[in-house]
Structure 1
C-alpha cells in the first residue's frame, strides 16, 4: 500500500482550513484501503501583526474585503452550515475577534514532535470557531494542549520561551517563496498542489490520479 505525504499549509484563524481538512478526512477514509497518509502541518498567518489583536471579526473582514457587514455575516453563516454538515463546531465563529496565531503555530510544531500535531490543530480550530476563544492567550493555548493529552506545564514553558519560533518563520518563508499566497494549500508528495477547501470527491479523484502517476514513474 502506497504512503501519501500531504503537507498542509494553513492558519488556525482560517475557517476554510478547518473545512478543507474535514473534507480531506472524508477523502482519506474513503481511500483507507488503498493508501496510507502522512500528514504534516505548516504555518501561515492571516493576521501576522501581533499588535492588531482584538477586532470583531465581521468588522475586520468587512474592511479587508470592502464588503458590508451584512454581506460578511451571510458569508460566515454559509460557512457555519458547511462546517455543521461536516461535524465541525463553528457555533461562535461570528463572535470571534482577530487574533495573532504565531504562538499557536509554535505549539503545533511542538505537538508534532509528540505525534499529536493534527489533534492540536483540530483543538485550536474548535477553540477559535466553536468557542470564540482568544487563541493568542497562553491559558487558552494550554487548555487546548491539555485537551489532546499533552503536558500543560511543558507547553506553558515553551510559550514563555522562543522555542519553535524559527521553525514557524522558516515554514512561512518557504511556502511564500514557493508561491503559496492563500490557504488551505495541500502539497501532495512534495510536488502536487491542491489549493482550497475542495470537496471530498474531488480529493479522492486527485489523490488516485497522483498515486497512479507515481506508480507509472
Structure 2
C-alpha cells in the first residue's frame, strides 16, 4: 500500500511540472514562411516545404547597431522573425551595441532566459527578483569574456560603464522571447494607462506622471 501511495505522489508531482522553454520539434526543421500556400502551421508560424529549404534560411549577417539614440544602445534581434530557420528550435540571440554610458534599459523577456557574453568593453548588469523573493537585486560588472545569466521573466538591464564602446551577445531560450521595456510599457502604452492608476502605483503627484507620459520613450530594439 505504501508503494501505491508513493507512486501516486510521484505522478502528481510530475504531472504538475510545467515546461519553461519552447516545445521540442518533431521534425528536423520548420523554416518559417509567410506564404499560406502549401504550408503547415506549427508553433505560430507556417512551415516551408522541406524540399525547397536552403542554407540561406538558416543564415543572417548582423551589422553593428546604431547607438545614436537617447539611450546610447541598440539591440539587434535575431529572433524567428529575422531568421526563419529558428522556427521550432527554441533558441534565438541578439547583438547589443553600446556607446559610452549607453544603457539597455530595464526590460523583461516573458518567454526566455537570457545568457549574455561581453565581446568588448565593460558592462554593469543586473536583474531583480520577484516580490515573492523580496525584490532582491543581483548586479555584476562584466568585462570582455565574462558571462551572466538573466532568469526568464525577470527585469534586467545593462549599462556601459567603460570609456569606449561595448558589445555583447545575448542568447535566449526561445525562438521568440519577447521584449517588454518597462518605461515604455508604463508611460508609452497605447492607449495611455490612467493617471489615477500610475499616481497611486508610484505614489507621486499627477504632474510627475503627466510629465513622464509626454516624454519620448526610445525603443532601442530592431
Task: Bin the TM-score by the shorter chain.
Answer: under 0.3
Q: Compare relative contact order (CA 8 Å, sep 6+) and give the higher one, 1 or 2.
A: 1
Bigger strand share: 2
Higher helix share goes to which structure?
1
CA radius of gyration, larger in: 2
